[in-house]
Structure 1
Amino acid sequence: MEEENKKLNQFTKDVFQEAGLATPSTDFLANVMAEVATEKVPEKVYKPLITKVGWLIIGALFIVFSFVLTRFSLGFSIFGDWNLSSLVIEKYESKINIPVTYAYCFFFLLVFVVIQIKMIKRLLDRNFQI
């Protein structure tokens, strides 16, 4: 068995010596780099989940919903005796009185939405970098 391995080793050495070493051309590296540079890398195109028109529709629906909830009373309510129209606008009164808790809710909602948008934008920017 060991003698077969020696013969096989000698045969492979002879084959490699006969073949010799092949040396690349002088501009081999430049040719390879030129080929690599011409390969096109697919670009990641940023496409938002919700378009600007979608955000406008969502905002408009939110404003309409808020107005309807605070302005009109339907005669029945899932909240029982609460009169939703008295939260923001008194009926037949032109003056708008917004309760402090209502204002705080909208303020903190806005702050949290802005923070989340910034964090999501940073995450997407990091993921879309090449």
Structure 2
Amino acid sequence: MEAENKNLDQFTKDVIQEAGLTTPSVDFLANVMAEVSKEKVPVKVYKPLINKVGWLLIGSLFLVFTFVLTRFSLGFSILGDWDLSTLFVQKYDIKFTIPATYAYSSFFLLIFVIIQVTMISKRFSRSLES
């Protein structure tokens, strides 16, 4: 068995010596880099959840509703007698009042912004997973 292994070792040494070492061509690195640069990597294009036209529409609707609610009040409130101006500290005799319409519109805007942020964060995390 050892004789066969010695013969096999000698045979492989002879084959390797006959083949010799080959060196790459002079421009081997340039050729490899050219082939690598040919490969196209798919680029993800950022597409916002709400585009510019949508934001302009939302902003203009917000301004129109604010204007209509402040100019054409019907004398009743959806939220009843809940007054947001009582949330301010009146310890220092500061006479600062916020119209109820602005307070309600700011409150609902805050709710919509929170919803938007959660939707964007979910979409962003899904895009990172794929």
Instruction: Please give the TM-score of this superposition, normalised by the length of structure 1.
Output: 0.46
Instruction: Please give the TM-score of this superposition, normalised by the length of structure 2.
Output: 0.46
Name the structure, 1 or 2, with higher relative contact order (CA <8 Å, separation 6+): 2
